[in-house]
Amino acid sequence: MSQSGASGPTYLGTVKGAPEVLRDMFKQVPADYDSVHTKLARHGARVLALGHKNLGSLSMREVRALVCVGGGCVYVCVKTLNILIFLSQSVHL
């Protein structure tokens, strides 16, 4: 990504993955981070965490240690939701 007016290119690194995996990569997480992604997943949603970091001449270790929370992505598969409802209402002996 290049910013206009800058003397050179500015690079932005991004990452996506399971919220519980990326949690340790983030410098800070919102207070409700765990409760929100857990609640959504329990209701049948697929949840991806998103992170970003402005890059310079950093090593991969430095990048992973300083990733910022960028948001999240949630999508619901109707078939999955229907299957979860069916299984929760079924009787297993």
pLDDT, mean over the chain: 75
| 3-state SS record for 24-46 | HHECCCCCCHHHHHHHHHHCCEE
Answer whether 72's CB lies under 8 Å from 48's CB.
Answer: yes
Query: What pTM was computed for the model?
Result: 0.55
Q: Which of 15-29, 50-64, 72-86 has the highest mean pLDDT?
A: 15-29
- Sorted by where each begins, the domain ranges of the chain are 11-89
Q: Is the pLDDT of residue 74 over 70?
A: no
Higher pLDDT, 9 or 14: 14
Residues of the chain with pLDDT > 70, as a percent, come to 61
Could you read off the pLDDT of 39-72 as tens digits, one per residue?
Answer: 988 888 888 888 887 777 666 677 677 666 666 6
